[in-house]
Amino acid sequence: MPRQDTSTDDEDFSGDSKTRRKKQMIALQELGQELTTLGNKQLSALLLPETLLHAVKEYQRLPNSNEAKRRQLQFIGRLMRDAEHEEIQSRLNAMRTPDIAQIRRAQLIESWGEKLLSADEQAINAFLAEYPLAERQTLRQILRNYTGIQQQDENALRTQRRKLLDYIKAYIN
């Protein structure tokens, strides 16, 4: 006896397949795992629901016992289903994507650092003309310290270069 098909072509199947649901759960668990790598300041900026925030902090507190962390990640994934995970993902992406203005500022700081490290008086004058609040004496002292270091002392060179870049950063908005 042939099998009788009781379904109709226009019947709406609203349920997802088991495979699709499992992939969604794994994706939410991975998003939850990303949240566990963030610090307290970043977590508070994401405006997470209280239960999810508590679960993430609990995960971070757990010892390096794989089974406990695995179970906690599953719990975080379960909490993510009830949370507005699309909104959390978009906030996380926005947090990790630097602003164009920030990128340009960092490039400008690097550019001025390279120009000033050439130890050219014109570069110092150009920087002071562009940023009149900067102090010539302090700038020269930092550059003098940089050029006075032996080339073999990589750590000292890095430290002085960092001081110069931090000084430049203070004046570039």
**Res. 78: pLDDT tops 50:** yes
Tell me the per-residue pLDDT of 102-155, one tens digit each, with 9 for 90 and over: 889 999 999 999 999 886 788 899 999 999 999 999 999 988 888 887 777 788
- Is pLDDT of 158 > 50? yes
State the pLDDT at residue 15.
65
Residue type, 122: Q
Q: What is the pLDDT of residue 8?
A: 45
SS (H, E, C) 102-171: HHHHHHHHHHHHHHHHCCCHHHHHHHHHHCCCCCHHHHHHHHHHHHCCCCCCHHHHHHHHHHHHHHHHHH
pLDDT at 24 over 80: yes
- Determine the number of helices (DSSP H) and then strands (DSSP E) in the chain: 9, 0
**Residue 104 burial (CB count, 10 A):** 10
Q: What's the full length of the chain, in residues?
A: 173
Average pLDDT for residues 154-169, to the nearest whole number? 89
**What is the pLDDT of the chain when averaged over all its residues?**
84
For the stretch 32-72, pLDDT in tens is: 888 888 888 888 888 888 999 999 999 888 887 778 888 88
Q: What is the pTM of this model?
A: 0.51
The identity of residue 119, as a single letter, is A
